[in-house]
Structures are given as structure tokens and as C-alpha cells.
């Protein structure tokens, strides 16, 4: 279970990334944030953002058409 | 939709200088809804990447920054006429194609609402919250008879091409939209 959950279901680009970035900024190093999104673009956007920002993407999975990403604050 | 709350800004805990942030510069020269939208999507996403983002608004792009109550502006009759036919504000922007006297943008905004795409107005406010610098172009303000009072609050001081080039020279991303 992640320390923070960001529910971005129903929101479109760029809002999932915006909300994720705000949650990561608010987290302490080592804490995890789980993003839940229904925007298919998140599947490419979130890994790209996490890699560029240097925050490890620990897990990525899909449940019933919802995309989950667990990211650790570097 | 409601605007997300901004994450609290962390206070620097040491005296070390902050690492230089990468810069992104966008030139918003169009007052079309279908150009203003991607400009603000890229600006807010750039800010989400921790970039130092500046949007320079020039020519028709200034319409995006107009206040809803700006009214008729300018001294010259041509400037006044322009302010009547180019009312501006994110609410009144038209589409570059299929505008159909305002029916096109109405349909586009209804669709965006249905699909929960953030509006230009929401993205503009979000950009300001995220620290995106919004620069109106002084020369086009003068040309069109717009004063600082005709534009929304929270903008950087009007600047010119020289300042824009100085920013772009240091930026890793510069786009003219």
C-alpha cells in the first residue's frame, strides 16, 4: 500500500501528471504515491515523467480498465 | 471540475544554492482556442516536470490574457474597433477551423466538459498556481491599445522580443504556437 493515493480517474491529460507531480512534491524521500488513472495516455506519460524526474516507478498494473502506478519519491 | 490544491512548497533547509532548473519557453501568438489549449497543457506539464516555464503572449495571443470586464480599449478608433471584435478572455476564443460563428467552440467546450478535459480558463489558473511566468508583449499591447489594466492579474511585467530571446537562448525547449 502506498503512502498516498492520487485518484485521477476520469481526468484527462495533462491532469494525471499534474496531480501526480504535486503529490510527489508533497511526499518525503522514500515515500510512495499511487496514481490511479483512466487516461490511456498515462501508460506512456507516467513512466516517461518518472524516469525523467528520477523517481523510481515501483509498480504498474491495470485493474478493470484502471491504470495503477506506484512511484517512490527520490 | 474543481482545481487541485497545490502541494505545499518545501522550505529550503540548507544554504546550498538551488540547482538551476531547466527552462521552457512558449510563444503564444494565436488567440485560437485550439492553440491556446495546447499552449497551456504544455506549460502546466512543463511545470510538473519541475521546469522553469515562461509563456510569452503576443499578437492575437494577448486575447487569452484579457479581463472579462476589459470593455472597449485603446485611443485610436481602429484599436477600439479591434477590442470590440476581439473581445478575448478564454471564454470567447474561437476555433481556427470549423468555427461556425461560435457554434464550433461551444461544441468543443461541451465535449471537453463531457470528457473532463480541463478548460483553458482552468489551465490558465493552474499555470499561475504552479509558478508559470505569463509575459504579455509590450509592443503588441501598444499596437492594439491594451493597457495593463485590460489584462488579468498575476502577470509578469510586459516585455519585448529582447527578453524573449534571452529566455529562449537558455531554454532547452522553445516553441512558437
CATH assignment of the domain containing A57 = 3.30.110.40
> Hey, which residues does B124 pair with through a beta bridge?
none
Chain B nearest CA to A15, separation (Å): 8
Average pLDDT over residues A48-62: 97
B11, B46, B48, best to mutate vs chain A, most A CBs in 10 Å:
B48
* Contact between A22 and B117 using a beta-carbon 8 Å cutoff: no
Q: Which domain holds residue B88?
A: 23-176
The answer to whether A45 touches A16, Cβ cutoff 8 Å, is yes
Q: What does the pLDDT look like over B118-166, one tens digit per residue?
A: 999 999 999 999 999 999 999 999 999 999 999 999 999 999 999 999 9
pLDDT (0 to 100) of residue B28: 98
B7 inside domain: no
Domains identified in chain A, total number: 1
User: What's the pLDDT band for B11 if we cut at 50, 70, 90?
Assistant: low
CB B42 within 8 A of CB A15: no
Cβ pair B29, B176 in contact under 8 A: yes
A13 is catalytic: yes
Contact (CB<8Å) A18/B7: no
The total of structural domains in chain B comes to: 1
Q: Domain residues for A33?
A: 4-64
Q: Could you say which of B5, B47, B49 has the minimum Cβ distance to residue A49? A: B49
Contact B48 A14 (CB under 8 A): yes
Q: For B92-101, what is the mean pLDDT? A: 93
Q: Determine which one of A7, A12, A13, A40 is catalytic.
A: A13
Residue A38 counted as domain residue: yes
Residue B4 lies in a domain: no
Q: Is residue B15 part of a domain?
A: no
pLDDT digits (tens, 9 = 90+) for B37-51: 999 999 999 999 999
Using the structure block, give the residue that is written with the C-alpha cell 489594466.
B149
Amino acid at each position: 500500500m502506498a503512502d498516498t493515493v492520487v485518484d485521477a480517474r476520469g481526468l484527462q491529460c495533462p491532469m494525471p501528471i499534474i496531480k501526480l507531480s504535486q503529490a510527489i512534491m508533497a511526499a518525503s524521500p522514500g515515500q510512495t504515491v499511487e496514481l490511479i488513472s483512466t487516461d490511456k495516455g498515462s501508460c506512456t506519460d507516467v513512466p516517461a515523467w518518472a524516469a525523467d524526474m528520477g523517481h523510481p516507478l515501483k509498480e504498474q498494473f491495470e485493474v478493470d480498465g484502471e491504470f495503477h502506478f506506484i512511484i517512490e519519491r527520490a | 471540475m474543481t482545481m487541485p490544491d497545490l502541494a505545499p512548497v518545501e522550505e529550503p533547509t540548507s544554504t546550498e544554492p538551488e540547482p538551476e532548473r531547466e527552462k521552457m519557453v512558449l510563444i503564444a501568438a494565436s488567440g485560437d482556442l485550439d492553440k491556446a489549449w495546447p499552449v497551456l497543457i504544455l506549460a502546466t506539464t512543463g511545470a510538473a516536470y519541475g521546469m522553469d516555464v515562461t509563456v510569452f503572449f503576443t499578437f492575437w495571443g494577448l486575447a487569452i490574457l484579457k479581463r472579462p470586464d476589459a470593455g472597449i480599449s485603446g485611443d485610436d478608433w481602429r484599436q477600439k474597433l479591434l477590442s470590440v471584435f476581439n473581445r478575448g478572455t478564454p471564454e470567447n476564443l474561437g476555433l481556427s477551423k470549423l468555427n461556425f460563428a461560435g457554434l464550433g467552440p461551444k461544441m468543443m467546450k461541451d465535449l471537453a466538459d463531457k470528457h473532463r478535459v480541463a478548460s483553458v480558463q482552468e489551465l490558465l489558473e493552474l499555470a499561475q498556481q504552479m509558478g508559470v511566468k505569463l509575459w504579455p508583449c509590450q509592443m503588441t499591447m501598444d499596437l492594439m491599445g491594451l493597457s495593463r489594466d485590460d489584462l488579468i492579474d498575476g502577470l509578469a511585467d510586459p516585455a519585448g522580443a529582447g527578453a524573449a530571446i534571452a529566455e529562449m537562448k537558455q531554454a532547452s525547449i522553445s516553441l512558437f504556437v
